[in-house]
Amino acid sequence: MRMKKILFIAAVALAAAACSKTYNVGPDTQKAIGFSTWAETLTKAEARVQGSNEFKAGDTFKVSGIKTTGSTDAKVFDNVVVTASGSSSLSWAYSPIRFWDTQADSYTFYAISPSAAGTVAYADGEVSATDVVFAGDDNDILVANKMVLTSSSTPKIGETVDLVFNHVASLVDIKVKKAHVLESATVKVSAFALNNIKSKGDLAVSAYDATTGVPTADWTPEGTTATYGPASGVEEVDITSPIVIEDDTNFVPTYGNTPAASTDIVKSLVVMPQTFAASAQQIAISYSIAVTGGDTINYTATLDLADFDIVDDKDQNDTKVQKWEAGKHYTFYITLDANAIEFSASITPWTSASAGYHYVIK
């Protein structure tokens, strides 16, 4: 009888051990939630370089999101900072690690980059960034598409979360060219400024496209304005000495042209999206036209950004640019033309003094 009791106790111990192995599922055996990113055209914010197409080690984004099980939502991320590291292949890390719940019906993620740019609500992805100041060579703020993962989506629950970011600032290049009528003249720009540009405001994202997940960015400008010059963009242009302007051999002022050549004056300037008004956002330019063996004439001009249109001709009566929109890259061309002093000639016909004069010799 004593032997049976011992055997029975041993059997119970073995069963308990088997049960503990079967149900011992801890975080070390689950799959962590990981992130990767993609963006079409990225510009300078942290480590990434303005105008490039990729993130770099040291870049960050802030992620928020929920998991949904049945009709219940649960917070998973609330403005958690994720940081890139590596070289040829980046990895993104955050702490503490969250793990996938395979019982959830779906996960929804939102994000903003850089992480210091603003906050993003975990429940609905609303973005808030206040008092954003644009210096011209920074503040390339990115907001990710709303990302929903299910067990059947791509990517799906349990896979890497591939966040797709969008620009919510505007990118501007300004180029100057001379009309071909000035091919024998040397044209130089000695001063250039973008004046009265709205440079401070609040960013809000309150909606995402139902199909694509793309965010709608709204900017509310404050009263602050700035002046930007050739050195304000990330790619600085030096006009401490007057800069020689390229000849646009295609330019004929009576019809639309595709510029054949131009000279960069402002390169990769990051600005706040804004609507233009007459006599508000303006360009001030100083230039000279010198002809060999002739005079050098200096000019100044003030141009309204609201007057730029989509056709490269002498008339400003086509569709106007109107504004800078979020996520768009704008290129402005200024053509320097001149009215040459030209001559023509004609001869005034003889005027008859009378029907005739007569003299009779007798």
User: Does residue 22 fall inside a structural domain?
Assistant: no
User: Does residue 155 fall inside a structural domain?
Assistant: yes
Strand partners, 192: 285
User: Does residue 218 fall inside a structural domain?
Assistant: no
User: Does residue 5 fall inside a structural domain?
Assistant: no
Q: Are residues 189 and 266 in the same domain?
A: yes
Q: Are residues 42 and 154 in the same domain?
A: yes
- Summarised one tens digit per residue, pLDDT across range 161-219 is 999 999 999 999 999 999 999 999 999 999 999 999 999 999 999 999 999 999 999 99
Q: Are residues 248 and 108 in the same domain?
A: no
Domain that holds residue 267: 171-200+223-336
Alpha helices (runs of H) in the chain, residue ranges in sequence order: 2-23
User: Does residue 266 fall inside a structural domain?
Assistant: yes
User: What mean pLDDT is predicted for residues 77-84?
Assistant: 96
Q: Which two tokens stand for residue 8?
A: 């029975």
Q: Are residues 176 and 300 in the same domain?
A: yes
Residue at a domain's end among 145, 167, 189: 167
Q: Are residues 300 and 162 in the same domain?
A: no
Which of these, 81, 152, 55, 145, lies nearest to 108 by C-alpha position?
A: 145
Asked whether residue 45 carries a pLDDT value surpassing 70, the answer given is no
User: What mean pLDDT is predicted for residues 22-51?
Assistant: 56
Return the exposure string of 231-270: e unless at least 16 CB atoms fall within 10 Å of the residue's CB, then b.
ebbbbebebeeebebbbbeebeeeeebebeebbbbbbbbb
Q: Are residues 122 and 177 in the same domain?
A: no
Q: Which two tokens stand for residue 232?
A: 């304000």
Q: Where is pLDDT greater, at 9 or 359? A: 359
Half-sphere exposure of 93 (CA within 13 A, CB side): 7
Q: What is the pLDDT of residue 18?
A: 33
Q: Are residues 176 and 316 in the same domain?
A: yes
- Summarised one tens digit per residue, pLDDT across range 83-117 is 999 887 889 999 999 999 999 999 999 999 999 99
Extended beta strands in 147-294, E state: 147-150, 161-167, 170-179, 185-198, 200-208, 215-221, 225-228, 243-244, 247-248, 263-271, 274-275, 282-291
Q: Are residues 145 and 236 in the same domain?
A: no
* Amino acid code (one letter) for 244: V
Q: Are residues 128 and 33 in the same domain?
A: yes
User: Does residue 344 fall inside a structural domain?
Assistant: no
Q: What is the pLDDT of residue 356?
A: 79
Number of independent structural domains in the chain: 2
Q: Are residues 131 and 192 in the same domain?
A: no
Q: Which residues contact 306 (CB under 8 A, 6 or more apart)?
A: 276, 277, 278, 280, 281, 320, 321, 322
Residue at a domain's end among 148, 167, 186: 167
Q: What is the pLDDT of residue 259?
A: 95
CATH value at residue 76:
2.60.40
CA–CA dist 234, 153 (Å, integer): 39
